[in-house]
Structure 1
Amino acid sequence: MTFVLPGTLRHLVDHRDEVRVFAVAASEEEIPTLGAALDTLRRTHPSLEERLRDADGEIRRHMGLYVCGENARRLGGLSCALPPGAEVYVLPMLG
């Protein structure tokens, strides 16, 4: 799956506009989730993941993650299912 990043976060990943990671399901019967993708992102790009999740592991209040065009919070947050080839757009939220 692919995280598509705003310009304000690209310095954390060598100025790339997207980062691809593998989101692995917990079992063969399940499908990958946003939480699993963020867990992988923590291992590959920890500085970026820290900007997306808070100390409790939840999506930061001021960050919007959009899975295939839908706000992930409305789709179950971290348990939101990721279809094959999913794109997650990362957008800073205005306070």
Structure 2
Amino acid sequence: MDTLAYLFPLLEALIRQFWLASSLHLSAPHESPTLLESFGQECLSERERQVAWLILRGHTGPEMAKELGITLGTLKNHRKRLYAKLNIGSQAELFRQFMLFQHRESRA
């Protein structure tokens, strides 16, 4: 267990680097939507998709609230609703859902 606690910061940093370096950038208006922009489009509100995008990009709660111009409480409400709509309970599950979505879309 101590080994896992020791490795967690390293794993977290590697995951953040992977996601930041991946193709999660928003496309220009004239381009087709990216996978990230399409993720949750059928069930999430625009604001919930913005919150999901920022989470997937590795932003912290305070960073997201500042970026969106909302309070932390409002951010938590958006996050709760998007988790409920996706039937998930954690950030890790959000990453998993996005990875599954990305896999499905790449095969289509």
TM-score (norm 2): 0.25
The structure carrying a bigger strand percent of its residues is 1
The structure carrying a bigger helix percent of its residues is 2
Structure with the greater alpha carbon radius of gyration: 2
TM-score (norm 1): 0.28
Select the structure with the greater relative contact order (CA < 8 A; seq sep ≥ 6).
1
